Structure formats: C-alpha cells, structure tokens
Structure 1
C-alpha cells in the first residue's frame, strides 16, 4: 500500500472515533447553555482546565514514549507496557495523596470527582496511546465513540430529566471514563498481558529520557489552550469564563480534523518515512495541501459558526459568537505546529518540542495580560492565535535541518491575510451577511482545494462503481 493510501486510511479510521466524539460533544453545548448557569459552567470548565494542567505530572508523558517504542519494537511490547503501568500506578497514588493533603488546608471544589476524573483521564489516554502503538486503530476509534456515547447519554438523563445541574457533568465524566477503560481491557488481551512483579528501571529510565522533555511542552500547550481561563476568571469573573468556554468549543470541530490527520501522519512518519530527498519532497507536498485545506475550512467555519451559535444558543451565551474568528486562526496554527512536531519525534529530539512550546506559551500569556483590561475576551482569543503562530514559526525554523518543510511564502501569506480579515469581519456581521460569506468562502475553499476534491471524488467513484463491477464479475 502506498504512503498516501496508508495516510488516508489511517485518517479515516481516526475520523470515525474522533470526529464522532467531537460531534457528540458539540451537540451537548446547547444543552449546557439552557440548563447550566454561566457561572457554574465556568467553574466546571476551570476544574477541567486544572485537570489538563496536572495530567502531564501524573504520567510524565510516559504514554508518548510507550507509543514511540512499541510501534517499532513488537518483541518487547509486554515489557514496555508493564513498565508504563507501574509508573502510572505509582504516580497516580502520589498525586491523589498530594491533592487530598492540599484539600485539607485549602478546600478544592468537588475534590473527589476531581481526583477520579484526573486519574481516569490519564489511564484512558495511556491505554489509547498503547492501542495506537499496537496498531489497533479500530479499537482506538471505538474507544472514543464509546466514551462520548456514555458521557452524553448520562448527561442528558441527569441534566434534563433529573435536573442535577453541574454536578451531573462531573458524575458523567467519572462513569464514562472508567466504563470505557474496563471495556478496552476486556476486548484487547494485550493490554492485560503484563507482569507487574518485575522491576523495569532500565526501560523506565530509557522512556523517561524521551518523555520527560515533553512535560514542559505539554504544560506550555496548556498555557496556550487553557491558561486564558484563569486570566479571564481573575480579571473578568466566572460568567465571562463560561461564555469564553462556549466560544472555545466550536473551533474544536477544526481541531479534531487536525487531530485525526496528525494521528495518522505520526503513525506513518514513525513507521515509514526516512531522511532522504524523496521524503523531503513528500513532506512539503503534504504540508501545502494541509494548510490550504485548513485556511479554506476556517474561512467557511467563521461565519457559519456565528450563524449557528446565534440560532442554537440561549440569549446569555450568544455574545460568544464574536470571539470564534481568532480562535479558529489559533486552531489552524496549532495544527500546523503539530505537523512540524513529527520531526522531533522521528529523531527522538523532544527537547526542541519543549523549547518551542514555551516560546509560544509565554507569548500567549504576555499578550493576554497586556490586552485583557482593554479589549476583554478578545484578548484571550487574539493571544491564543498569536501564541500558536509563534510556536509554528519557531518549529519551522527548528526542524529545518532534520525535517525541512518547503513553504511557498507568497501563497501562504495570501491565505493568512484572508483568514485574518475574515476573523475581524465576522465580529460586525449580521445574519444576511453571514449567509453571503458562507457561500463566498465555500467557493474559495473549492478553488483552494480543487486537486484534493478531485482525488476524493475519483476515489469515491472508483469505490462505488468499479468495486461493484468487480463484485459482479466474481459472482458470475
């Protein structure tokens, strides 16, 4: 199978799990806005933001190392999986006891749920990384769908029927996480084929040398994506934080497209690509298609999201629609930065990922703190864009020796200018203008991506008609 076919196939498999998950989570947003007060939703969002902050400290990103090792070392998969479990268990106990000690002196909101969600989320992510390393992408995709289905079903029952409020979201998180973990262990026998009685100090040291530099990188990603909530809470209050959290959920549609592509791209790069001229040319062509598709999608989604938000959200949340433009831009450069990070993983040079992430995070925090007093929530959205842009620029430069990416600067600048212009325009538009913009940007998207569209149409045609003809011949 060719590299392109493997990339497409992997992307489609991840899409089944990831896209379905995000669509289901996207559909729950209107439910929250009608049944949960902005202040309560802001507190919940802050708790989940804290989970994402502490998470790397539990695993020390060991799951990334496990994935990197077992994808190429099948004969030692049992050893590396066992070493991962032991480290995860030890760190989870330490973190849980630390949080309980802190709670004794400084009470934490819903501390029991907080600990259970924190540990369960890390266990599930670790298992999913192992599944990718074992090349069981189908079960990985299934895990995402199962987790979301349980979470959303439990949410609907407890919020709409039982009227349990924000605490029902916490309970739904716990129930869905641990149910999914149990199901995965039952289905995939290799997850259970471990030896917890042996010592794995050599393997753990080897893996931690790779994964430890990813911790500051992960914390920097947290600053980029989540620290805005703390700044907003401090300067503007919980209500503004609730509104911003709703605005941030909509660009996750584009974010998940990047995620499902980058998962497949990482799998392909680590198992198939080598450092040669052919690879450099291939990487450059893939990157160009990626940024054309990304900017094109963002142009459509900016006015479309504003239109949809004004229709489905309750009145107290509709103001969130004006902030999505720069959040979409931030998502585009987040995805492009992730594309570049494969260069670090291929060479096992993860310190570079940490360094460039810190540059972006500091930029984000600085811009946000400077502007938030003057432009409110716009500062958070704009600083997210600027931070990820700086991260992308520094990564492009940092990986150029080992993983050079050809860039047509003129084309890229035009696409970027159009996207920035649109993010400003949608702040001031009404419904009629939004509809016109959706039609115009759809046309622009087709122009940007005509080659990709042709390939997709050809593949669908061959699958639907040539496949049927082959089946008919076999039957005869």
Structure 2
C-alpha cells in the first residue's frame, strides 16, 4: 500500500512540476489578456480553444487515448506508435483540406483553427505515447516548453506587433508546435516510426477501444462548453468574455486535479484487480476532493478583492459567478475521477450514457436559467449536470472497483461551501470566514478518524 501511494505521490509531483508552468500561464497572463483583448475577443478566443478541444477526438478517432492505455500493457511500442501516427496523419490531412476550402470562402479564422487543430492532434499523440512508455519527466517538461513559448510569443505578437486575437491564436500554435518538437526529439520518437509495422489488426483494436469514447467527448463538450454557445445567443460575446475570465480561476483547480489525474491513471492501471484497489481508490478520493473543496472555499473568500486588482475594470463583475463555477469544476473533476475507472477496465462504452444524461440536463437547464439569472444560470446548470454524471458513474463503476464514500463528510463540506459562497456574495465576510474555519475543523476531525479508524472510508 505504501509503495503504491509513494509512486502516486512521486508521479503527481513530476506532473505538478510540468503543469506548474501551465498554472503560471493561466494565472499571470489573464491581466495581460484582459488588457490586450476586448471581452468579445476574449470570448471568441475561448470558443475557438474549446471547439478545437472538442474536434480533436473526432478528427483523430481518439487514437491518442488508446495509445496511452495500450502502451501501458503492450511492449510493441513501435507498432502502436506507427499505427497511431498513421491515423493521426490521415485526420490532419483531412482537416487541412476542409479548413483550406472554408478559408477560400472567407470563413473567418478557418485556416488558423485548422492549423491549430492539426498541431493539437500531434501534440496529444506524442504526449500520451511518452506517458504510456513512462517518460513522465519529458511529459512534464513539455508543459514547461509550451508555456514559456506561449508567453514569449504572446508578448511579441500581441504587445509589440499588436496582432490582437490573431496574435493570441498564433501563440497557441507556436507553443504546441515547440512542445511537440521537444517531445519528438527528446524521446527520439522517430525510432518508433516503422511503416512496415502498419497493421490493420493493431489499428482496429485501438480504435475499438477509442472510438466509443468519441460520442462521450462530444457529450462532455456539450456538458462543459455548450453553455458558451447558449450564452452567446442570449447574452452576446461580451458575456462570454466575462465567463472566460471567471473560468480562469476554476481552471486552476482543473489544472491541479489534472496533475493528480495523470499520475492516478497510471496507478489505477497498476492496482487494478489487486486486493488493495478499493482502499487505494477510497483514500485517494477522500484526500483529493476534500482538499479541493476546502481550497474552493479559500478562493471564494478572497475572490472579490483579488479580482479588483487582477483584471481590468470591464471584467471585474466576473467575481460574482466564480463560486458556482468552482462548484461545477469540483463535480466535473469527481466525474472525471470515476471516468478513469472505465478506461482502466477498457469498458469505455459506459462513459457515453452517463455523459449523455449530464449533457441533456445541463443544456435544458442552461436554456431555462440563463435568460432568468444570467451567467450564474450557466454555472448552476453545469453544477447539476456534473453532479448527476458523478452519481451515475460512481454506481456504475462499482462493478470495476468497489469502494464506498463517506457521504456524510462530503455533504457537510458541500453545505459549508454553499453557505460560505452565499455569505461572500452578501458581503458577510466575517461569517464566511467562520464557516471556512468550520470546514477545516470537519476535515481535520475526519482525517484524524481516518488515521485511527482505517475503515472510516467504508462509511456511506
């Protein structure tokens, strides 16, 4: 058990070092972006980025997800990489042809989006492959390379050459290209390319695993990002810009969770089927999501004064929707945690139905609530949608690895967080501070019981 958590902690630390650069970019570049871009431009940039993330699994047939999972089990790495590269290359060619045609017909940003998508495909493929062959340090360094390149190119293209939104998009492309080249040459990926090993059976097996995840990726996008299109329709691109800035804070939590999730995927595969699996899952869930929710409470308590100096005045109102967006991100991360269980078991079709229900609930509620309560309606719809997904996935994945959750503990923390958020929105900051102290106390008592009573994680 100790060796399992030691490995998990070690890998998490490595990913944290790599992702720390992404945290810096996400955190410190926001004031720069809010000065260089208008709310409308910021909203458009966010929609483009999320659209590319949504299209990547479709265009590549999601082969990068299969390459990671299969590389963990299969030592024929050259065959896996060559076949994955073949599928990705076909998707890249089709993308450039289609976006080139759209560019000819003067569709704004079409070719830029196409190039951005193609670079993203190869970056995802390289990252997932080297993670699968346990080159986790190079995986982490690639994040630093991408971040440094992005910052420098942003300053040059947006501040010096005044290219605005185009400069922002160019920077994204340049940073991913630099990181991809780093991965390709540092891990000598060219050694794994052998087109004599193109094999229909290998490709078929990978796509059999990966393709069922594509509808899930679309549904996940609709659950997570379709709200932006609804906001665009009802409230306009300026509101999307406010939402994009507000989401930078929850995205910090997503990045922190991503550090853990990258390491957790590897640990979950190694512990699958062992006698310690249930205990490892329960402890990981308790520690990670308890700490994340308390972290959300701290963020909410500080958010208003922080935003007054963090962004320009036209984006300041974003602070009011951050509490609900943090809760949405928390449930989103919980559902992603359970989603890893499907991938470990190679039963990826189970991801689809759960995400579909979350998507449907989110879209219906968003359409109903945004006209009534504005941007907070989007956050509330997302929170409810991901809550439903989390519950469904928890009960479904019990057949893969059965573990129980201390629901009383998490309910008490959740109630505390909601009460704290309401107090901050009403400017009752002293009350909010007391609630945060109570949350710390609840977590401390529960952590003590966890240490002295090992079966505490089995309490529902």
Does the CA-based 8 Å contact 2:150-2:171 persist in structure 1? yes
Per-residue deviation, 1:334: 1.3
Q: Secondary structure at the match of 1:250?
A: helix
Per-residue deviation, 1:64: 1.1
- Output the TM-score relative to the length of structure 1: 0.89
In the TM superposition, what whole-angstrom CA distance separates every residue of 1:164-206 from its partner, at most 9, and x where no partner exists? 2221111111211112211221211145421124432111100
Does the CA-based 8 Å contact 2:127-2:183 persist in structure 1? no
Per-residue deviation, 1:436: 7.3
Aligned partner of 2:440 in structure 1 is 445
1:404 to 393, 402, 410: 402
In the TM superposition, what whole-angstrom CA distance separates every residue of 1:92-116 from its partner, at most 9, and x where no partner exists? 11122223334445x4322221111
Does the CA-based 8 Å contact 2:420-2:436 persist in structure 1? no
5+ residue gaps in structure 1?
456-476
Does the CA-based 8 Å contact 1:293-1:449 persist in structure 2? no
**Distance in 1 of aligned mates of 2:94 and 2:84:** 16
- 1:428 to 1:103, Cα distance in 2 relative to 1, 3 A: farther
- 1:410 to 1:314, Cα distance in 2 relative to 1, 3 A: same
Aligned partner of 1:355 in structure 2 is 353
Per-residue deviation, 1:291: 2.2
**Distance in 1 of aligned mates of 2:438 and 2:412:** 16
- 1:93 to 1:449, Cα distance in 2 relative to 1, 3 A: farther
1:109 lines up with 2:108 in the alignment: yes
Does the CA-based 8 Å contact 2:183-2:189 persist in structure 1? no
Map 1:10-25 → 2, pairs under 5 A: 10-25=11-26
In the TM superposition, what whole-angstrom CA distance separates every residue of 1:401-453 from its partner, at most 9, and x where no partner exists? 22222112211211121122233333332xxx558746862673375157879
Bigger shift: residues 175-184 or 156-165: 156-165
In the TM superposition, what whole-angstrom CA distance separates every residue of 1:234-269 from its partner, at most 9, and x where no partner exists? 111111111111011111111111111111111111
Does the CA-based 8 Å contact 1:15-1:260 persist in structure 2? yes
5+ residue gaps in structure 2?
451-460
Does the CA-based 8 Å contact 1:307-1:434 persist in structure 2? no
Per-residue deviation, 1:275: 2.5
Aligned partner of 1:247 in structure 2 is 246
**Distance in 1 of aligned mates of 2:348 and 2:112:** 33
Q: Supply the RMSD in Å over aligned alpha carbons.
A: 2.2
- 1:203 to 1:250, Cα distance in 2 relative to 1, 3 A: same
- 1:442 to 1:122, Cα distance in 2 relative to 1, 3 A: farther
Per-residue deviation, 1:356: 1.1
- 1:296 to 1:97, Cα distance in 2 relative to 1, 3 A: same
Does the CA-based 8 Å contact 2:66-2:206 persist in structure 1? yes
In the TM superposition, what whole-angstrom CA distance separates every residue of 1:330-389 from its partner, at most 9, and x where no partner exists? 111111112112221221100111221111111111110111111111111111111111
Q: Secondary structure at the match of 1:349?
A: coil
Map 1:193-342 → 2, pairs under 5 A: 193-270=192-269, 272-342=270-340
Aligned partner of 1:86 in structure 2 is 86
Does the CA-based 8 Å contact 2:219-2:359 persist in structure 1? yes
**Distance in 2 of aligned mates of 1:104 and 1:267:** 45
Q: Secondary structure at the match of 2:333?
A: helix
Per-residue deviation, 1:391: 0.8
**Distance in 1 of aligned mates of 2:341 and 2:185:** 35
**Distance in 1 of aligned mates of 2:68 and 2:196:** 22
Residue-pair matches, total: 449
Map 1:449-468 → 2, pairs under 5 A: 449=444
2:390 to 389, 392, 395: 392
**Distance in 2 of aligned mates of 1:43 and 1:151:** 18
